[in-house]
Structure 1
């Protein structure tokens, strides 16, 4: 009878590293951002809601990109996300930029709120 060692899968340093990376990314999304005055963010696992004071050119860093309010007129706003200018209207489908989905959530006399999410999860 021959004694053979059973071939076991290698220990799982890759799985542990992947878990750590996932946790770090999740923490980064939740911690989210650095903002200038006139903007607030609320980030969760599925994206961020960014609320700009309407009369400012405030900007913030979310999900690894810069987001800035360029201007607003009636129910249409222009924002810059990941270096690209987008014109958004309330109720329109999400605009895709830099692997992110951007939608106009709300615009009123005082504030503009956009939602920025990973992929097409707008």
Structure 2
């Protein structure tokens, strides 16, 4: 019985490790570990990233605040400031003319 439990735990750990990796779609590149993801969005592209079981989208920048959508909740925040959205810690790390970098982490 202990062998089955150990084997199940090993399989679960392998699945989690495989889901905690990097991917790239049109307009968004992700790099994740088990508890957080860094998403780099190309500016001027309508892109969404699926990370940690939620959808994240960079909406835009206005008046020095970045707007992001996390799990369907839209929020505007200053760059480099962390806020909680839909139970996740969200930080817009950097915004340039070409890209926006957002980190989403589990609490």
Deviations 1:45-83 (A, max 9, x none): 442111112222211111211111222125311111111
Aligned to 2:70: 81
Aligned to 1:22: 13
Alpha-carbon deviation of 1:110? 1.8
CA contact (8 A) 1:34 1:62 kept: no
Higher strand share: 2
Deviations 1:65-105 (A, max 9, x none): 1111222125311111111112121232x222344211010
Aligned to 1:113: 101
Q: Which runs of structure 2 are paired with 1:44-63 in the superposition (5 Å)?
A: 44-63=33-52
Aligned to 1:7: none
SS in structure 1 at match of 2:57:
strand
- Gaps of at least 5 residues in structure 1 are 1-9
- Gaps of at least 5 residues in structure 2 are none
Q: 2-side partners of 1:74 and 1:12: how far apart? A: 58
Give the TM-score of the pair, scaled to structure 1.
0.72
Q: Is 2:61 aligned against 1:72? A: yes
Larger Rg belongs to: 1
Q: Report the number of matched residues.
A: 107
Q: Is 2:84 aligned against 1:96? A: yes
Give the TM-score of the pair, scaled to structure 2.
0.81
Q: CA RMSD in A?
A: 2.1
